[in-house]
Amino acid sequence: MRGKPFLFYPVILFGFLLLVDSIFRIPFVQLLTKLDLTAVNYSAKRTLLENLISEKKTKSDKKLMLILGSSRLLYFDAEDLKSFYPDWEIYNLSSAVTTPAYYDYQLTRILDAGIRPDLVLMETDPNQFNQNSIFKISNLTYSFDLPYVLSNAWLFGKDNVSFFLGRKIFAVGTYKPYLDQMWRNYKNPNLESFVSMNQTTFDFIVQNNGHGLSPIDNYVEKDANLLDLTSHRTLDWLFASYVPSEMQYGFYEKILTRLKSDNIRAIIVWPTSSPNFEDLISKEKAVSAWEEKIGSVSGKFDQSILKLKEDPNYSCNAFADGGHIAKECYHSLMRAVQLEYFRRYETHRL
């Protein structure tokens, strides 16, 4: 071996690569690779989940509600919920662009910790069952832990497991080392403001039980042409290459199986969007096929979908864009959920 030092070259090279990769585990360096709030939202939800598991091991006199959704269930006002529903403690584990796999991970962690929610409010939507969604670069990149992925490898499949392991082992898989982009971000005059916003967003989410800090807060889009434009853009983004994901249906059934076996009360809700977008998706064959299948799967577990567009207890005429309701509509949304809860589970209180 003394005469063959070249045999150590691969080891030295690998060690050097790991050293370089470790630089991209530094939070500020990660931020320089991409100036967006995706990572901080998922990071805040991980912290919230750990806090919830830690705090809820002690009994509370309030009912516990878990919200599992996408950006369409993200922006409840924590103070409003406390005022209108003082008997409930409501934790929001929603995040942008989520899937049944993401919901199952959150729910599994909570139930396995011995925490029994009084109600699980879970969103469902045809895009969550799209094989060609951005699942890999959102949920699979920023969520989950190794034990969960390995224990569900049969559902994730070889490709997703390999992708997850690659991202976990090498930070540069997630935070790309494009030095020119990093330098531009470093010289960005708004960098300091973005760093501050990053921390503010994290703190707000954790301190407000997971309810999101809206970048547009109480904004309402009043231009019908813009609503139509954003509706078409959203449709093209979500359904241009739609292929049903058997993996996500598998996770959906896994969730319903666990809820039923543990006798956990649940409401599965299909949120609304603007009339422009609702009209567009009503013409999509993929949506009608999903609606039929999700109804059939849910029915096997004695569940039904609360379709807000058909619910007389829900009303919303304000929208942030084509795909999202305005914040003021969240009052009506929670009211519809509460009425559905009493209708299904506590009819004596109606």
Closest by CA position to 163, among listed 183, 179, 143, 188: 143
User: Can you state the angle between helices 38-55 and 100-112, rounded to 10 degrees?
Assistant: 20
Domain ranges of the chain: 5-349
CATH architecture observed for domain 5-349:
3-Layer(aba) Sandwich (3.40)
Quick: pLDDT tens for 183-241.
999 999 999 998 999 999 999 999 999 998 877 777 787 878 888 899 998 888 888 78
**Residues of the chain with confidence (pLDDT) below 50:** none
User: What is the per-residue DSSP string for 158-226?
Assistant: HHHHHHHHHHHH-GGGTS---HHHHHHHHH-TTHHHHHHHHHHHHHHHHHTTT----SSTT-----HHH
Dihedral sign, CA of 210, 146, 141, 325?
Answer: negative
Phi, psi of 65 (to 5 degrees): -115, 135
Cα 177 to chain centroid, rounded: 26
In terms of residues, how long is the chain?
A: 350
Closest by CA position to 249, among listed 97, 121, 128: 128
pLDDT score recorded for residue 109: 96
Tell me if residue 138 falls in helix, strand or coil. coil
